[in-house]
Amino acid sequence: MFKILRDLLRYNIEFTIGFVLTLAIFLFALAHFWAPLPAEAIYLLPPDMPPSAQYWLGTTSRGQDVLWQMSAAIWNTMLFGLTVTILSRLLAVAVGMLSGYLGGKWDQILMTINDTMIALPNIPILLLVYFVMRDSMSWPVLAATAALLGWNYDARLIRSVTLSLRNREFTRHAVFAGMSVPQILMRQHLPYVMPVIFFTAMNNLIWAIGLEVTLSVLGFSDINRPTIGGMIYWANQHQAIIAGIWWWIAFPIIAIVLLFLGLFLLAISVNEYIDPRSRLSRMGA
């Protein structure tokens, strides 16, 4: 895995740009641990101050420094996305690899469940969960719900890779050597599946972050917890654009666009590494 990362950084300019962008945003988000004021605190600073030497990105109508507020918001948004991605990858890997390797009735049962989950509409289910659990809704509950809805497409892709590995010579040797199914999947097949997991994780992370921003902008999350969507929500509530407080909404949007761009470049560069035909098709176009 580290060899793949080293090769991508050395030879793929898209991966390098995406990696630098994502790392820079991550370090900016990490800086919120050294913020001079709590991220949830309001009306501690002069409101509606434009960007200046004292307040680099200005202040909000709620008396918050946009710089430090955005740092904490990006951290929380990325934390939500990573939580969804990790949980959904665990589900996708477990279902995809077991279904592809075991085959038969287990494949039919698992893929029936998978296809049923694909048919379910994500946003209405998340909104239903929010309204049912409004009083006890928290971001881990929302993340777990999103993870349960975000694994199914990738499970099919992982299943197809495992199906091709099941008939390989090294798999038959592992069976003859007496290795159990978990040992074969973890030791023999997982290294071949890891690039696919990384690629699907990037796509799922983009989806999860976009989902969090969408729900927060609409107010269907914990709006008092700093997130990028929450910042845009409060800016809309205070009519920031009409009031001329453009920095309150412009800087969070720029940050999330840069994050999406970095993750997108990582995803397409890893996809080219996995499937060189995609690179050839782009060159031909």
Number of domains in the chain: 1
DSSP conformation letters of 168-217: SHHHHHHHHTT--HHHIIIIIIHHHHHHHHHHHHHHHHHHHHHHHHHHHH
Average pLDDT of the residues of the chain: 87
pLDDT tens-digit map of 81-94: 999 999 999 999 99
Query: Does residue 216 surpass a pLDDT of 50?
Result: yes
Confidence of residue 227 (pLDDT cuts 50, 70, 90): very high
In the predicted structure, residue 172 carries a pLDDT above the cut 80: yes
Mean pLDDT of 243-257: 93
pLDDT at residue 275 in the model:
64
Q: Phi and psi at residue 177, in whole multiples of 5°? A: -75, -5
| pLDDT confidence of residue 251 | 95
Q: What is the pLDDT of residue 277?
A: 53
User: What is residue 281's predicted lDDT score, i.e. its pLDDT?
Assistant: 47
In one letter, which amino acid is 99?
A: S
pLDDT of residue 123 exceeding 90, the answer is no
Res 1: pLDDT: 57
| Of the candidate ranges 5-9, 14-18, 218-222, the one whose mean pLDDT is the lowest | 5-9
Q: Which of 123 and 248 is assigned the larger pLDDT? A: 248
Q: Is the pLDDT reported for residue 245 higher than 60?
A: yes
What's the pLDDT at 276? Answer: 54
Q: Is residue 183 over pLDDT 80?
A: yes
Q: Distance between CA 77 and CA 155 in Å, rounded?
A: 25
**Mean pLDDT computed over 12-41:** 91
- Band (135; pLDDT cuts 50, 70, 90): confident
Q: Which residues contact 129 (CB under 8 A, 6 or more apart)?
A: 137, 141, 142, 145
Q: Which domain holds residue 236?
A: 2-283
Residue 59's SS3 state is strand
- The pLDDT score that the predictor gives to residue 2 is 66
Which CATH number belongs to the domain containing residue 260 in this structure?
A: 1.10.3720.10
